[in-house]
Structure 1
């Protein structure tokens, strides 16, 4: 018999209590670990230094205020954590803005006004207030001059004499001449009729034409106006000499939007929530143009000469019956990055299919490009510091105005490179089987600060390295993850650190000191500390293809062991969870502790496609999701059976989002391995997911249908043999509820009986309500207890 459970309506009729008929117990309960996370304590977030490098600000909120949660600690009194007053908060200098070259002055905006902050005087002054938003603010090469954008045009403010010059005339839409040239015969007739009837309008039109004719005859030139046409002006960038202005143009067309019904809207009516389009339906266009002030004209950046721009992807070979045309592929060009002297610029160019990335030198005089570094990946370009479609990631210039820096996966892991644009010589500053995160130049630009996983793939540490490469000095030593916020004067590090069984706390340490970092916060509640949270074992097991798979292992006491195992599958696909710091899946971590108390052996695997392990790991699921990422789960179970006495007939699996997808594939394709599974907010058909994520991995459905058919659970539902629990929020605007509705119909048509569906009417993709979390995990625990522990 098929059973459907509508959580909010029928919960009171269900028996969800997990525990009493089973021998083992736990001091934890689902109700406890799934309640409002405030019960765990309060932990520091959003760390920020004051501009004078003597105060650390952070969100903390031990008093449980509903809105105000900003606190501080000062170098003068590190023992005292204080709440920031409203007056002090209003007086704070924004962390966003632009520094001058020597870091003695900072530009920032507040309430639409532009301010200049003098660090030595600790004083701000208003430079200009135009009553509307200012953006793209920067010091020019002559630092007495400042460039900014206001209402889609660039301005230069001279702080010496207070003059303000508008240096562009950019307008959205089309020019009058272009509009008239495209008038239909009908509209031409209407205009003619209107001019013949309305004398004043006709006189103005005539006068305008006469004025233009006169200026042309006398040689006077009309001021140049750049029209964006059918695109919108996204951002402007003024060169350091103010000779050039680059214009990012966007045409956003996400295709046909899907709608998600909200059955519990406050109005009492079913309301439609506007949501994303489906994969293959993204027609967004982006281009870059240059305005040349001396020539008073603009021209587009030309990408057609980029090497490999017409190259077809390898997968086309699997479709021999189709004719494939080699043509110039669509690309997205990033905003320009100018050298300090203003004479040169580079751009990051990405093909829209994300198989190519070019870092190119931009000729500012004609818009042509010279490729400096071309990266090609038959799967897709990505990795730490490499950036997405509209940004260049880690990319910029050294002070010599001829050397650029960037990150690349050229050697299999994301590392930091230098390239001389004159000689073309490229040098890898970091090497090895680890990855680099968030490198940035020191104030004097003689060194790099960077985070890496060099110590271990499951740890993060902060380093300093000479700008041209050399020995890296490790600046942190706390085990786990060290998120460092460097003070503006670079003398101190505010370190947010956590470990596997310990949430984030704030520490401070002098940069380069060998002293132990000093702990500033102790946020755990007594209730949280009362339980001895496990440190999972970080292990590796061998997969069927020989790869060593990282995982976290939770082992029960021998006396409690029940012979059953549960595999937890993290979400997001490209995410790391088998590490040594506090997991973003903290509820699941606590649930895994509870399962272990009850005698289950639990394993949490960083399967193929997880982040932190280099390019080959990242792309291991290309064109086959549910391939190696699923076989890694199966091999994990084999490891448990062979090494930890797990009964092969007592294995369950659960996970949300991507983890829910893997759970479905496991129940449908590996029924001999998995006897029960809980699939939370799971993708059931990748052709119905979004473009940005899915098209990278599976290409587009109309182009590569083979990849979608072998990757989507809905095609394999006939393989279900074990017990399946499906759980989904009804107002999920990420993985739509439609996904599980379609799968439900498929299971009905196949005559499957051993499955249940629990729905959550008020929940989006990320659940919010403790009652929903509690209901969800009570059901999961009940599933495992009843399916895996029955004799």
Structure 2
């Protein structure tokens, strides 16, 4: 294996080359950095997957700057040059994701364009193996899986489960779910019943015919061709049908749509038709929600019954905020004009303590052990304060607790899901992720004895989990080296030492080869976009990567344009900043060669996202804009404020019931740190950000107007009561049950505090943060007689802009704001 990578020692020069400036690079302009990234930067490889013989890597790429990406391959046995895959070859390849193996990993099953295919993974004598097409229908076949004995393929078509016997090709329908309501015959009246009985008593022929008919129906019912039990879903949506490995049970979920949930509409003004057209968007937080139930179809007993949620420990527990009967005082318009100090809370003596009721929950598709003897489900409370991992007895439909995670804020992070949960080889030990000790870590629990074990521990996050083919090892992605790095590790399934498999500083997104001997790595560094690398699956000793003779990853793709490489992109310094409550804030600092005393803070979006790290940012346009600002003398700082990802549970939930609280004070503390340590003028600091970053910008400009002289709020949330339920209810609960949280977290209530200059930019067809948010804030600013603000609207842009001209216009306005007002 080492011979495969001989002579690839180049890491010493990699980082240096990435930062080496060329002579006289052309200056950055907004027009340059906001043009189409395909033509200006290049397109990084994505969607990596391997051939079954582990000899070829496939990935999407676009080195020719075409309108769409294409599939490429690199054969490891040849010169390792990327080659475009022909359409004919591409048709015979499985999709990058969604494939499943049989237990021996000799067969691979996948769906492609609505049909099912089976691939023999054994090496072919001549070229690549050709997949066997199992279905070719107008209907879509999906969710393929192997039966427990490996002799059949189980799949979904429409609302029902089917099997195909691999040896014979026999197609069998194993469920008969009818989406309609059950049809019931009208009940005979007393008169009709008497007449029927009288007719049969009078006429021999009628009695004989009825007896023959009844006998025929009996023979048909008990005949050779037994049909699956018919079940009417009564208009409910059928989801996640799954056959148990032993073939006895079928589990499925039924979802009942919410009644009376009003959906927002987003008008689209610039259309091909010339008429205004309405886009269907979403409901708002607090709207009636859909409900779901998990059912078990016992084929042996011919019964279909729901799984009971009664007896789930703590299912009726109220969250702490609901126990504290407080409510905001009514706030008159005159008080709203005074700003945040107008909001007060008092004990609400009129409220009576709520009688505990069983919270609605959602139950996952069961996770089965390979022998079919154990089934586990993940149950989540609708308020997301609880997540239970429970053993399911399908015969009795009873649940038994294995692990409960309770969070008075909300369950989140990298926590337990079916994607990071599974059984070990003993068919009794379940692995899962939990934030039980404050960080996302790996645990196991024996589903029979209940014995629990924590396998990883420390102030870092386990972010991804993969079990080895032989189920003897875990492959983990963690940030234990540094919060701003991601590395790939191997660890025994019973815990112990983690052996690092990646070497390069930054982010390592690993795709393991099927034979687990090689790693295909999408790698990037702070000033170096993603490229594809290859390395052997060999553990790294503590300082082995520093050794001159160490095996280093081989770079397989070179995606960047000469024009992009001509500029000496900065490697921002990763700094730590003390927060007022003693916590540590991580940030990326862009230091100018000739500081002008001005500073700009960038506020990333999404809330739960990490951007102060050592890899290529998803905010690459903003990264380039920060280089442009630094060239002009600005000091630029980008921090991971409270609620950002990668720093554990307490950091993640620091904004519970108060967005614009600690997340905002972190930015204020960062601004003050710039003044104290970087020579920044306290009166010449601006900030900007999009989405959640736009929201923080508004809160900063409205509630701390003496800290920031100018701000650009892009596609901002102005009132959290108008945002979606899935995100907002976790953090602020519901508007009608936790009014205080919404009142103190929504910028629209604090607009009177605006002193500095404010720019607002928003797409008019934004189906995430609706344009209505900005319209309402605009009316508020007009009524408050504010004059130091402006709004720029983009008629054809959704939440994420796509047109280069829109990006250019937006960032020209941001630059103009900072140049004129700072």
Give the superposition deviation at 1:44: 1.1
- 1:196 aligns with none
Among 543, 547, 552, which residue is 2:583 paired with?
547
Give the superposition deviation at 1:171: 1.6
Q: Distance in 2 between matches of 1:211 and 1:233?
A: 39
The alpha-carbon distance between structure 1 residues 283 and 215, as it changes in their structure 2 partners (threshold 3 A), is farther
Q: Is this contact kept in 1: 2:238–2:254, CA < 8 A?
A: yes
Alignment of 1:378 with 2:408, yes or no, is yes
Among 93, 103, 106, which residue is 1:104 paired with?
106
Among 717, 728, 731, which residue is 2:762 paired with?
728
Give the superposition deviation at 1:315: 0.4
Among 476, 479, 502, which residue is 2:528 paired with?
502
Q: Is this contact kept in 2: 1:26–1:594, CA < 8 A?
A: no
- 1:259 aligns with 265
Q: Distance in 2 between matches of 1:220 and 1:274?
A: 48
Q: Distance in 2 between matches of 1:761 and 1:750?
A: 26
Give the superposition deviation at 1:318: 3.7
- 1:91 aligns with 92
Q: Distance in 2 between matches of 1:92 and 1:421?
A: 38
Among 617, 620, 631, which residue is 1:597 paired with?
631
Q: Is this contact kept in 1: 2:476–2:489, CA < 8 A?
A: yes
Give the superposition deviation at 1:519: 0.5
Give the superposition deviation at 1:301: 0.7
Local SS of the residue matching 2:610 = coil
- Post-superposition Cα deviations, 1:563-600, rounded to whole Å, max 9, x if no partner, equal 11111000000100000000000011111111111111
Residues 156-175 of structure 1 aligned to structure 2 (within 5 Å): 156-175=163-182
Q: Distance in 2 between matches of 1:209 and 1:27?
A: 95
Moved more, 114-123 or 259-268: 114-123
Alignment of 1:337 with 2:355, yes or no, is no
Alignment of 1:478 with 2:478, yes or no, is no
Q: Distance in 2 between matches of 1:268 and 1:131?
A: 35
- Post-superposition Cα deviations, 1:493-512, rounded to whole Å, max 9, x if no partner, equal 11000000110011001111
- 1:272 aligns with 278
Among 560, 579, 596, which residue is 1:562 paired with?
596
Moved over 4 A (4+): 128-131, 207-223
Q: Is this contact kept in 2: 1:608–1:632, CA < 8 A?
A: yes
Q: Is this contact kept in 1: 2:599–2:635, CA < 8 A?
A: yes
- 1:115 aligns with 117
Consecutive unaligned residues of structure 2, counting only runs of 5 or more, are 1-24, 190-207, 327-347, 540-549
Q: Is this contact kept in 1: 2:115–2:142, CA < 8 A?
A: no
- 2:145 aligns with 138
The alpha-carbon distance between structure 1 residues 649 and 138, as it changes in their structure 2 partners (threshold 3 A), is same
Local SS of the residue matching 2:111 = strand
Among 466, 471, 489, which residue is 2:492 paired with?
466
Q: Is this contact kept in 1: 2:175–2:228, CA < 8 A?
A: no
- Post-superposition Cα deviations, 1:475-532, rounded to whole Å, max 9, x if no partner, equal 0011100000111111111100000011001100111165100001111111111111
Q: Distance in 2 between matches of 1:208 and 1:674?
A: 92
Q: Distance in 1 between matches of 2:575 and 2:170?
A: 65
Among 389, 393, 415, which residue is 1:363 paired with?
393
- Post-superposition Cα deviations, 1:515-554, rounded to whole Å, max 9, x if no partner, equal 1000011111111111111111111111111111111111
Local SS of the residue matching 2:786 = coil
Indicate the RMSD between aligned Cα atoms, in angstroms.
Answer: 2.5
- 1:40 aligns with 41
Q: Distance in 2 between matches of 1:211 and 1:482?
A: 74
- 1:427 aligns with 453
- 1:9 aligns with none
Local SS of the residue matching 1:777 = helix
- 1:193 aligns with none
Q: Is this contact kept in 2: 1:136–1:237, CA < 8 A?
A: no
- TM-score, with length taken from structure 1: 0.90
Q: Is this contact kept in 1: 2:61–2:69, CA < 8 A?
A: no
Q: How many residues align?
A: 737
- 2:811 aligns with 777
- Post-superposition Cα deviations, 1:196-231, rounded to whole Å, max 9, x if no partner, equal xxxxxxxxxxx9999997789999679632221231
- 1:191 aligns with none
Q: Is this contact kept in 2: 1:555–1:602, CA < 8 A?
A: yes
Give the superposition deviation at 1:69: 1.6
Alignment of 1:235 with 2:240, yes or no, is yes
The alpha-carbon distance between structure 1 residues 522 and 282, as it changes in their structure 2 partners (threshold 3 A), is farther
- Post-superposition Cα deviations, 1:250-300, rounded to whole Å, max 9, x if no partner, equal 223492111111111121111111111111114111211000011011110
Alignment of 1:456 with 2:482, yes or no, is yes
Give the superposition deviation at 1:164: 3.2
Local SS of the residue matching 1:431 = coil
Q: Distance in 2 between matches of 1:435 and 1:166?
A: 44
Q: Distance in 1 between matches of 2:713 and 2:375?
A: 49
- 1:200 aligns with none
Local SS of the residue matching 2:637 = strand
Local SS of the residue matching 1:504 = strand
- 2:251 aligns with 246
Moved more, 684-693 or 418-427: 418-427
Q: Distance in 1 between matches of 2:519 and 2:186?
A: 61
- 1:82 aligns with 83
Give the superposition deviation at 1:155: 2.4
Local SS of the residue matching 1:77 = coil
Local SS of the residue matching 1:80 = coil
Alignment of 1:521 with 2:557, yes or no, is yes
Q: Is this contact kept in 2: 1:567–1:602, CA < 8 A?
A: yes
Q: Is this contact kept in 2: 1:245–1:292, CA < 8 A?
A: yes
- 2:203 aligns with none
Q: Is this contact kept in 1: 2:42–2:62, CA < 8 A?
A: no
The alpha-carbon distance between structure 1 residues 144 and 533, as it changes in their structure 2 partners (threshold 3 A), is same
Q: Distance in 2 between matches of 1:347 and 1:208?
A: 52
- 1:747 aligns with 781
The alpha-carbon distance between structure 1 residues 740 and 127, as it changes in their structure 2 partners (threshold 3 A), is closer
Q: Is this contact kept in 2: 1:100–1:139, CA < 8 A?
A: yes
Local SS of the residue matching 1:176 = coil
Q: Is this contact kept in 2: 1:34–1:770, CA < 8 A?
A: yes
Q: Is this contact kept in 2: 1:434–1:457, CA < 8 A?
A: yes
Alignment of 1:307 with 2:313, yes or no, is yes
Residues 13-24 of structure 1 aligned to structure 2 (within 5 Å): none
Give the superposition deviation at 1:66: 2.3
- 2:341 aligns with none
Among 278, 283, 299, which residue is 1:293 paired with?
299
Moved more, 132-141 or 619-628: 132-141
- 2:52 aligns with 51
Q: Distance in 1 between matches of 2:414 and 2:498?
A: 19
Residues 678-689 of structure 1 aligned to structure 2 (within 5 Å): 678-689=712-723
The alpha-carbon distance between structure 1 residues 174 and 639, as it changes in their structure 2 partners (threshold 3 A), is same
Moved more, 165-174 or 475-484: 165-174
- 2:344 aligns with none
Local SS of the residue matching 1:94 = coil
Q: Distance in 1 between matches of 2:470 and 2:210?
A: 58
